[in-house]
Amino acid sequence: MTLWDCIVVGGGIAGSVVASTGPNLKILLVEAGTNTHAVENIEWIDMNNAIGGEYDWGFSCVPQTHLDNREIVSPVGKGLGGGTIINGAAWARGHKVDYDIWAERVGDPRWSYEGQLPYMKKTESLFDNFTNPLSHGHTGPVKVQSPGSTDHVFPLREPLLESWKELGIDALPQLDNNAGDNVGVADLQENRDQGKRQLASLVYSLKGITGLTDSLVAKVLVEKHPKDGHLVARGVRLENGTEILGRKTILSAGAYRTPQILMLSGIGSAETLKKFDIPILLDQPAIGQNFHDHVLIPTIWQLKDASARYAKESGNPIVNQSHHAIGAFIDFITVTSLEKEGLVVAIAEDEGSVPDPTVHPLLKQDRAHSSHLLQYSGVSADGSAVLMISVVFIILSEGREVVAGELAAEPLTVNSTDEQIDARVREMAAGCYHPAGTASMVTVVDTDLRVIGVSDLRVVNTSVFPVSVSANLQVAAYALAEQAAEIIGSTMKKC
């Protein structure tokens, strides 16, 4: 039987990066989904068409009591490339405070913003050399574009900037929110190359790596060391019963499958394992806990007649040019923080006492809270209105020239009650498809990403994020994997 130097489970962002950095090792990459490299035009697949299709795991949650008992779907990419097959391609880092909190939580400065910045830069190739050059990479495998770099701009661009400014939200320097501070208005950057999506498993070469696709890992093979009885990972077992042996095993199976595989391997909460008659090798109750995602709340607005030419399918020849058919129909990403004075009052009302601003997690640091993306959506089903979609609820000031009003049975206004707003959230809130935290750093893995209590087993994917990042998770996942590859390479001769 072949003994692999390293078995990497999962061919998404993290798995592709880690596998590609060990060309001198005998590495096996095991992916449950298909070999997308053999799929014609896979780089042109549209997110809306991909979700719910053959490249989506199709996960959903149990009915949520506080969301009108709705089942919330959570698309996850299935196939070589993982999430990069089906995601929206937004390229956003979040706020430096997110990573500094991460480092503080785990007690390791390598996971601070400054600690992760070299790896963020290493993975990217920005569209120019003068946008915050000290904060960006220009030679990495992932190409990054912006509306301006691709002429992917819209006629409402200036009115939107003016509107945000009127609301007290300024444009960030050079319209770049990937330089440590993301609070403000910025161009929406995307990891696309001339409009094409970039699969992680293609931009990070897997040449020399053995790939095994359409192969579901059922468990990690874990046994007790004959000398001292400590647990050691010896490889994996596939769903069909095939056992594959490896000196080291890395789980890059995402925030849902990673804790599942660990628990099926006998590593998890003893109470849960007993419930499913799984032999308990290690009682680790933190596995599967600390799940976090971003909440998405869409609203649809009708543009005034005079502004109809600004939207997709409106007939405006500028907007209907071919390059606007590629990528998101969005100019800007606007990130806002919470207004502290009003928040103190709200917390006191909800929690029954005035919060200490030096301790309370919502008050002690200025950080991003909400992202607002306005998408030029097209025409309504009956053709009577030109629409704009906002992925969060935004109260626009009176007299706004481009928006006529929200399209809803009972439109929200500045006078809407808490009860009305709560009802809308229960009705419309969904996940943002950014799952993380389920095999968290410090509680499940150490800061070298080794599973605590099991030798020769690591986790490298968003499940190790101990805290939420105020952005899409792509950049953070790439940076994590780049640093993980360096850690693994520096601490072990093989894998």
Question: What digits encode the pLDDT tens for the residues 64-107?
Answer: 999 999 999 999 999 999 999 999 999 999 999 999 999 999 99
* Domain layout of the chain by residue ranges: 1-132+197-293+434-495, 157-188+295-431
Mean pLDDT, rounded, for 264-271 = 98
Lowest mean pLDDT among 9-23, 388-402, 460-474: 388-402
**Which range among 224-228, 402-406, 480-484 shows the weakest confidence by mean pLDDT?**
402-406
Is the distance from CB of 78 to CB of 51 less than 8 angstroms? no
Q: pLDDT-derived band of residue 415, with 50, 70 and 90 as boundaries?
A: confident
Architecture field, domain 1-132+197-293+434-495: 3-Layer(bba) Sandwich (3.50)
306 has pLDDT over 60: no
Average pLDDT, the chain: 87
HEC per residue, 154-184:
CCCHHHHHHHHHHCCCCECHHHCCCCCCCCE
Buried b / exposed e along 341-357 (16+ C-beta atoms within 10 A)? eebbeebeeeeeeebee
Domains 1-132+197-293+434-495 and 157-188+295-431 belong to one CATH topology: no
pLDDT of residue 204: 97
State the pLDDT at residue 181: 95
Instruction: State the pLDDT at residue 490.
Output: 79
The residue behind tokens 């907007």 is 319
**Residue 174 carries which side chain, given as an amino acid letter?**
Q
Instruction: Give the least confident one: 164-168, 362-366, 489-493.
Output: 489-493
Higher-pLDDT residue of 378, 386: 378
Tell me how far apart the alpha carbons of residues 308 and 328 are, in angstroms, rounded to a whole number.
Answer: 19
pLDDT at 371 over 70: yes
Strand order across the 370-379 sheet: 184-187, 330-336, 370-379, 386-390, 299-303, 403-406
Q: Among 17-26, 58-67, 393-402, 421-430, which is the least confidently predicted range? A: 393-402
Tell me the per-residue pLDDT of 170-185, one tens digit each, with 9 for 90 and over: 999 999 999 999 999 9
- Over range 242-246, report the average pLDDT: 98
Residue of 366 and 406 predicted with greater confidence = 366
Higher pLDDT, 320 or 143: 143
pLDDT at site 258: 98
Confidence of residue 386 (pLDDT cuts 50, 70, 90): very low
pLDDT at 477 over 70: yes
The CATH architecture that domain 157-188+295-431 belongs to is 2-Layer Sandwich (3.30)
pLDDT at res. 377: 59
Percentage of residues in the chain having pLDDT higher than 70: 85
**Banded model confidence at residue 378, pLDDT cuts 50, 70, 90:** low
What are the Cα distances from residue 20, in Å, to 109, 116, 348, 369, 417?
26, 19, 51, 35, 54
Q: What is the pLDDT of residue 234?
A: 98
pLDDT of residue 110: 98
For residue 204, the one-letter residue type is Y
For residue range 202-211, what is the model confidence (pLDDT) as tens digits? Answer: 999 999 999 9
Residue 392 annotated as binding site: no
| 144/369: higher pLDDT | 144
Give per-residue pLDDT as tens, 110-168.
999 999 999 999 999 999 999 999 999 999 999 999 988 887 777 778 888 998 999 99
pLDDT at 438 over 90: yes
Task: Please check the confidence at residue 399 and state whether its pLDDT lies above 60.
Answer: no
pLDDT at 330: 80
Q: Does 402 score more than 50 pLDDT?
A: no
pLDDT score of 198 = 95
**pLDDT, average across residues 329-340:** 84
User: What is the pLDDT averaged over residues 433-438?
Assistant: 95
Question: Residue 371: which of 184, 170, 91, 192 has the closest Cα?
Answer: 184
Q: With CA atoms as reference, report the closest residue to 43 among 227, 277, 214, 203.
A: 203
Task: Flag the least confident range among 194-198, 239-243, 435-439.
Answer: 194-198
